[in-house]
Amino acid sequence: MKYPLFLSLLAIAIFAACDAAPKGKTYLVNIDDKGIILDGYDAVAFFTDQKPVKGSPNFSHTYHDAVYCFATDEHKKMFVANPEKYAPQYGGYCGYAVSQGHLAPIHVEFFAILDGRLILQNNQRALDGWNSDSMSLQKADKYWPDLLASSGKPFLPAEEKKGLVNRNAADAVADGYDVVSYMLENKAVKGDEKNVKPYSSGLYFFASNEHKQMFSADPAKFVPLYGGYCSFAMSQGLLRPIDPMSFQIVDGHLLLQGSPEALAGFSQDIPGNKAKADQNWTMLLAKYPQGKMGYDEAPTSTK
C-alpha cells in the first residue's frame, strides 16, 4: 500500500531538518553496519514465497538509505519497479515496538503480510503482543510519524500515561537507570534508549538487550516498589522524586530512595518503614487512580 504523497514529503522534510537518524543518513531504517536491511533477507520473497529467503549481494538495490538483497534478479527487478509495495513497514523495525512508541530490532521468522504490507516483529512475545491487541496496526501507523519526527527517540503514548508511576521528563522509570542491574549487580547503571521496554505506564531503559529480555520475561521481579517513588517518603505518605544512586534491595524487591539521607532514614527501621510504605501506597493508589502531576512537598527529614 502506498503512503499519500504529502506524508512522504513530510517525512523527507522532517529528516532534512534533523541532525541525524539512528540508522541511515536521511531515513529511519533498521540497517546493519553495512547498510543492509532485513538482515540480508529478500523483501520480495516474503510476498511471493511466504517465507524468509536469504538474499545475495549480487542482486542488491539501495532504497531510502537501505541496501536490499534479493535471491534472484527477477525479485530485484520487481522491487525496483515498485519499492513501496515490498519495503517493510516502519523502516524494518519491530511493528509491535512501534505500536508502543519505540524502536526494536526484528527477527525475520516473525512476519506477516497485512493488507499487502510487510510487518516484522522482534520475537514471539512481540508477535503475541501484536496479535492480542486489535488496535496494534492503527497504533503503529499513528506513532510512526512521531518516531520519524524525533529520529527514533522512544516515547510513552499519551493514552498510556495513566496510573501512579514516577516518570521523569523522558517518561522513564528510575530516571532511566537499568532496574535489572540494580537487582542482579547491586549497582546503578544507566540504561540505553536502544534497549527500552514500556511497562505499566512507564518506560524502562536497560544497559543491554539481555537485561531487556530478562525484564520482559518477568517484569514483576524487577520493577521498583511504590511506582518508583522515594520509599522513605512513601513511609510518610508522600510522593517524592528519587536519586538513582540511592537504593536498596529489601526482601528481593528494589526500593529507590530520594537521597543518601532518605536511604539512611529508611534503613534505621526497614521492617517498620516498609510496613508504613506498603500501607500508604495502597491508600495513594486509591486516591490517585489516574496518577498525579508533580510531587508532594518534602518534609525536613527527606530534604
Domain boundaries, the chain: 5-149, 159-302
pTM of the full predicted structure? 0.78
Cα distance between residue 251 and residue 234, in whole Å: 17
**Shortest CA distance to 243 belongs to which of 221, 261, 262, 258?**
258
Cα distance between residue 129 and residue 95, in whole Å: 10
Place of cell 514529503: 9
Residues of the chain with pLDDT under 70: 1-23, 300-303
